[in-house]
Amino acid sequence: GIPITAFSTGEGTGSVSCTLPEVIEACDHDDINIVRIGTSGGLQPYLQIGDLVVATDVTKQDATSERPIDLLYAIQKRFHDPDHPKWKKVMDRVRYRYKTSEGFGEALAETFRHHRVKGDYAPSTDRSVFIALTEAALANHVNGQKLFEGSINTTADIYANTMLAATEEHDEFAVSMETSAICAYRDFYNLVDGRDINVGTLLMISDNVVGEADNMADFFNRKQEFEEAHILAGLEALLELRRVDN
């Protein structure tokens, strides 16, 4: 076995911004694998209650996940010239707080070239965690529990957006109220604190926003079985990731 830390972020990206930084900063090691195991509203009519979704990337419809990197983006956007009088001053402040290296400015610019699309933060999960979660879910899912892989959506306005969702078509599989913020803090700490954080999300459908699941009775009769398979898949993925790291 391996030691793990299990904690609840609370509901929504705002709660993630309060809890996740403290957990990351309390970790003794820089290489951290974070797996979000949670429930989700389905955005495809064929999704049944209890189905699993492994996220590849996130459509961001919240403001909180911008905040961890707003400062860094502002620096890169406004003071990208190393000769700018404010560049060194701001860099010194960031280096003092997060013990970053002299090459921080160049790393910052490269990070935002990679992660920003048309000026907007575009979060995604890490390939290594995605693979581990997919394999573990395939190995541990129970009869009647299907596995899907693809994009999800993070929204801060869950009630209004849920009502709108019923009238729209979606490319995403499900709604996650936390994943984009988790990705944002990964990027923030990897850049400014030299961490090696990898994240992934394994969701279980608890209701369907755009359709009517027809397996509700079966799910509640086997609720514990479905939930145990969900949690076990996440734990097995973490174990496999640590084996690979070692």
How many Å separate Cα 219 from the centre of its chain? 26
Kind plus residue range of the DSSP H or E element containing 36: strand 31-42
This prediction's pTM: 0.79
More confident residue, 86 or 214: 214
Looking at the DSSP assignment, which residues form a beta bridge with residue 148?
53
Q: Which of 67-71, 224-228, 234-238 has the lowest mean pLDDT?
A: 67-71
What pLDDT, on the 0 to 100 scale, is given for residue 117? 38
d(CA 145, CA 154): 23
What pLDDT, on the 0 to 100 scale, is given for residue 58? 87
Query: Contact, 202 vs 56, CB < 8 A?
Result: no
Please name the amino acid found at residue 8.
S
Q: What is the pLDDT of residues 32-75, one digit of tens each?
A: 999 999 998 888 889 999 999 999 998 877 777 777 666 666 65
Q: What percentage of the chain has pLDDT greater than the value 70?
A: 70
What pLDDT, on the 0 to 100 scale, is given for residue 48? 92
Q: Which of 66-80, 104-118, 141-155, 161-175 has the highest mean pLDDT?
A: 141-155
d(CA 52, CA 234): 11
